[in-house]
Amino acid sequence: MPEQSSTFEKQLRAVSDDYGRRLAQVGRRIVVCAGTGCVANGSLKIYAEFAAQLSAQGVEAALELNKESRGVFVSHSGCQGFCQMGPLVTILPDNIMYTKVKVSDVAEIVEKSIRGGQIVERLLYSNPSGGGKCKGPEEIPFYARQNRFVLKDCGLLDPEDIREYIHRKGYEAARRAFLHMTPQAVCAEISKSGLRGRGGGGFPTGRKWELTLAQPGPRKYVICNGDEGDPGAFMDRSVMEGNPHSVIEGMLICAKAVGADEGYVYVRTEYPLAVKRMRKAVADAEAAGILGLDVFGSGQNFRLQVMEGAGAFVCGEETALMASIEGRRGMPNPKPPFPAQSGLWGKPTVINNVETLATVPLIMLMGAGEYARTGTPKSTGTKNFALTGHVANTGLIEVPFGTTLRQIVEDIAGGVTDDDGHPWPEGFKAVQIGGPSGGCLTAEHLDMPLDFDSLKGIGAMVGSGGLVVMNKNTCMVSVARYFMQFTQNESCGKCVPCREGTRQMLALLDDIIEGRATWETVELLKDLASAVSVGSLCGLGKTAPSPVLSTLRYFQDEYRAHVLEKRCPAGRCKALLSYRIDAALCKGCTLCARQCPVGAIVGERGKPHSIDAAKCIKCGVCASACKFKAVVR
């Protein structure tokens, strides 16, 4: 066995050295973002155009590294994070990042940046808050103010080339764990790091592994939960697309820690690119002898399969996920027993999410103590967030735990915008964190450090990592209804509190936004939310009321306006709108009357018009048509 492990170590080193030599042979590298967002915007066509233009302009180039590769290396990467500005193209070692690149831009990039050593200024990111053009990520506030740890390689390395992952010390941590550490030592190192589950619950990862290790029996399983279903969340998807081998390596280390010999990567079927790249990564790791029999010559086996989920949100819950893998309907089961005791097919099982597992190899390489220096004492390390909403910069970000909401919204996101994307410094209203399982953060929370415990203390949660920033034009009652509609649709129906409770909560919210509610409706909504939270079987039902309860807590005045005044302060709830024409502003041009689909506007040309409230369907066409802003709500 020692001879086998030594041979394997030499093989990995040989792969790394060979790739390094080939990389050194090329003078420049063009990295085209091939994450889902950029692919949807045509980045693969841009990649193909680079190959064509380099050839047409007589530039020696390579699309994959081999012994003869010279000149310019054109590769693709996973998500580079700044999705709003995609497709993104990075040129190394110049460290130039071009944004919103089109196929028609490629010839100019090759001519000026590759052949002429110049910069195409118009394709650089322009900082809206001043400071001019930004050459590369280190100058772009969106990147410069992050701490990209797990995501560091996602936007750089080729996710479909195992050689580059190995060249970047990939599988070194797993090799050390298998050959030089006991399972207890691996568990202890992860516990010392303070790593907590990034899937939302925040349970200590090392503790979960120790509980599984302590279970008797030769058969145990490791599952990667890639069933990311929160609206607007794409953190796990981006890691699987951009650095799939980091997830596999994390699973290998976990397998060593608990004594598992089989694992599953459970990916929702709506992530076809993640499924494709994970499957290729597994096949390449098997071909390299990293997965399968006698891992690293250690005598331990570990087989890995990638399974597609059918898209049910409830399958993100671990017991429902295991039922789906077993071929049964994805529905949760009561706990205990916990998966560590009786999981997949009744065997001890560890379930961690993608981000958690991708963090593990980095901890093992740098050491638990060094890792724990980042973040807060009880929430160590960094967290990925999908940042969206009414802000200047949206995309995938990574920040240390303890970062404040203000730092994210103002520094990384570039500040709040109005509905048309224009800066609105005073427009911040709230942030929905944690998706349908989370809650709202308001202006009073802008300087609160974001970590597991501080958020729990105010009735919110990190969740999977969604951050939706909302401006003052947002109706918070409608936001609560949106998330309740989602969770009601996704309820598996197994338990009555969730199945019927969410349905009734949705009906009550409909009464509120459609003007049928009394204050007793709001009181009933509160009571019902508490009952659903306490009585539901799994996490979906227990957290479904969170957006409702948090909006009731922080935006009760909006509920009062809807119920008692029959008015939506944000002007978003159609049933509560009432349009009128300001006679002082109306010029009698008749444009609004001609646009009204039901003939509710009357008046003579040149004289102020009026709206017949009985006929008005509150469509808002008149307000949009009026050039004089005479139609008001």
Q: Say if residue 209 is in the same domain as residue 335.
A: yes
Token pair 């509980």: residue: 211
**DSSP assignments along 167-218, one per residue:** HTTTTHHHHHHHHH--HHHHHHHHHHHT-B-TTTT--BHHHHHHHHHTS-SS
**Inside any domain, residue 146:** no
Give the domain-ending residue among 371, 395, 422.
371
Q: Say if residue 34 is in the same domain as residue 103.
A: yes
Sheet architecture: strand order including 428-433: 395-400, 382-389, 466-471, 428-433, 439-442
Q: Say if residue 17 is in the same domain as residue 92.
A: yes
Query: Would you give the end-to-end CA distance of the chain in angstroms?
Result: 79
Q: Say if residue 469 is in the same domain as residue 481.
A: no
Virtual torsion, Cα 7, 9, 10, 13, nearest 10 deg: 160
Give the count of beta carbons closer than 10 Å to the beta carbon of residue 100. Answer: 15
**DSSP assignments along 242-255, one per residue:** H-HHHHHHHHHHHH
Q: Say if residue 322 is in the same domain as residue 251.
A: yes
**Inside any domain, residue 258:** yes
> What was the pLDDT predicted at 233?
83
SS3 (DSSP) at 312: coil
Residue 479: partners with Cβ closer than 8 Å, 6 or more residues away: 430, 432, 440, 470, 547, 551
Q: Say if residue 166 is in the same domain as residue 315.
A: yes
**Inside any domain, residue 506:** yes
Task: Give dist(CA 595, CA 612) in Å, integer.
Answer: 15
Q: Say if residue 501 is in the same domain as residue 586.
A: no
Residue 283: partners with Cβ closer than 8 Å, 6 or more residues away: none
Q: What domain range is 537 assigned to? A: 477-564
SS3 (DSSP) at 319: helix
Q: Say if residue 183 is in the same domain as residue 277.
A: yes
Q: Say if residue 526 is in the same domain as residue 628.
A: no
**458 is written with which tokens?**
């105010």
Number of domains making up the chain: 5
**Inside any domain, residue 208:** yes
Give the count of beta carbons closer than 10 Å to the beta carbon of residue 232. Answer: 14
> What was the pLDDT predicted at 436?
84
pLDDT, averaged in runs of 10, over the chain (633 residues): 66 90 91 96 97 95 86 94 94 96 97 95 87 90 94 94 96 95 98 93 94 94 92 90 98 97 95 96 96 92 94 88 94 92 96 97 97 96 95 95 95 93 94 87 93 86 86 96 93 91 96 96 96 91 91 95 94 88 94 94 94 89 92 88
Helices (H) and strands (E) in the chain, counts: 25, 20
> What was the pLDDT predicted at 5?
58
> What was the pLDDT predicted at 2?
54
Largest CA distance in the chain: 97
Q: Say if residue 206 is in the same domain as residue 307.
A: yes
> Which CATH number is 360's domain given?
3.40.50.11540
Residue 360 in contact with residue 245, Cβ under 8 Å?
no
> Which CATH number is 592's domain given?
3.30.70.20
**Inside any domain, residue 152:** no
> Which CATH number is 82's domain given?
3.40.30.10
Q: Say if residue 556 is in the same domain as residue 591.
A: no
Q: Say if residue 308 is in the same domain as residue 257.
A: yes
**Inside any domain, residue 377:** no
Give the domain-ending residue among 106, 140, 174.
140
**What is the pTM for the complete model shown?**
0.92
